Amino acid sequence: MKMLINGKWIDTEKKIEVANPYDNAVIDYVPRAEQSHVDMAIDSASHYDFSLSSWNRYEILHNFSELLKEKKDEFSNLISLESGKSLKESSIEVERASQTFLISGEEAKRLNGEVLNCDAVRGMPNRHALVLREPVGIVLAITPFNYPLNLVAHKVGPAIASNNPIILKPSSLTPLTALKMAELLINLGIPKRMLHVLTGNSSEIGDYLVANPSFKKISFTGSVPVGKSICQKAGMKRVSMELGSNDPLIVLNDADIKKAVNCATVGAFGNNGQRCTSIKRIIIENSVADQFIEAFINRTKGLKVGDQMVLTTDIGPLITEKAAKEVENQVESALNNGAVCLLGGKREGTLFWPTILDHVTSDNPIVIEEVFGPIAPIIRVEDFEEAITVANSTNYGLQAGIFTNRLDKAMEAAKRLQVGGVIINDGPGFRAEHLPFGGLKDSGLGREGVKYAINEMTQLKTVVL
């Protein structure tokens, strides 16, 4: 496939290989962009005339949402092929992306300002202020491999809704889904200067992109070190950072254990454990830990590991063998620091079997660092107070889940947990496309969720009559 600049499909002599993580078979090749291609995209975006009406933007986004439904199988297959995600989960991702684009279209018609009466201040009669919301300018979106459609949708949809030109740099590991998305948007009539997709290595064009003063907004999803580097190099730009996490699931002794186990299985091992909101720490009161663990092991044993393109597969390959080896090293380090492996711990190439670790302490590296794999470390605590203390003893703060049947404990946890979102009687992986989403501490800056992303992609102008 080729990359998109100014409505044209551009190729290069140098290529990037896109491979199936399961068997490393080549799926396709994409162009390896250079700085000159960045300049071409910026030049085109700089001449976008902002003439697309709210209705036109709604229509394009609504129609694309419907088109995703029609092409659900095609996109699901492509997502699974390049990311290693199971077909079942890829199908869910397409459904979610369709919702993201639909909500973006609806929000395009709601870009309202407000009218303020100046006579609220003494000596200011006969004046009215119009507070208008305008596009901020060229948006740079940098997206990761693990959700190659819906995380792209959460940047492209709000940018189009708010009438901003956008230059998208998808992960070089999973660029095909983004390119297919762009192809369909072009066919639906999106202006050629509005959307550009650059495929390339971040090591070659990343710094050149983020430091360019033409960008007015950077929206990045990825690792903490890269996010901090972008913030240092970006200069006077708006930035949104969706970064790492080690999200906890807290299980209190009055919890519905069956529901908690079901949640833990999906939350720790879904998407092969490769998502920022995966359950990366299970913090459980010791009095119910053995009961929980027995059921958790039995449920996990039923998961099928293998080729992600087989419909019955639950857990496919990690994105690269390097990534799988890193998870293997993290598990080995955890065991060396006192953890006990109750299940899994096995790796074959890019496949890593779902792994349950018990007797993990809060200072074990596996719960301090972010692990991007199907690993479920269990931390036993004596009571609610210790659970909250352990949950907060981290540099991250994206989301947290808590299982309890006591409303007072649930609301106290919601108040005291140092995270951007608290999910009661469900896992930290819960996300609805219209809700604000983002973290505290090293987990990020700003908020996504369609309306909230639009707010960060627009600027206010005051007009006084």
Strand, helix or coil at 103?
helix
Confidence of residue 9 (pLDDT cuts 50, 70, 90): very high
Considering only CA atoms, which of 415, 428, 139, 131 is closest in space to residue 264?
Answer: 428
What are 14-55's pLDDT values in tens digits? 999 999 999 999 999 999 999 999 999 999 999 999 999 999
User: How many Å apart are CA 317 and CA 353, to the nearest integer?
Assistant: 9
CATH 3.30.230.10 assigned to domain 248-424? The reply is no
Q: Which amino acid is at 14?
A: K
Which residues are identified as catalytic? 242, 276
Sheet with 114-117: strands ordered across = 114-117, 128-135, 458-464
Distance CA 436, CA 421 (A): 9
Q: pTM of this prediction?
A: 0.96
pLDDT number for residue 348: 98
86: left (phi over 0), alpha (psi -120 to 50) or beta: beta
Give the fold, CATH level 3, of 3-244+440-464: Aldehyde Dehydrogenase; Chain A, domain 1 (3.40.605)
Q: What are 394's strand-pairing partners?
A: none
Amino acid identity, residue 297? I
350-403 pLDDT tens trace: 999 999 999 999 999 999 999 999 999 999 999 999 999 999 999 999 999 999
Domain residue ranges of the chain, discontinuous segments joined by +:
3-244+440-464, 248-424
pLDDT digits over 236-278, tens only? 999 999 999 999 999 999 999 999 999 999 999 999 999 999 9
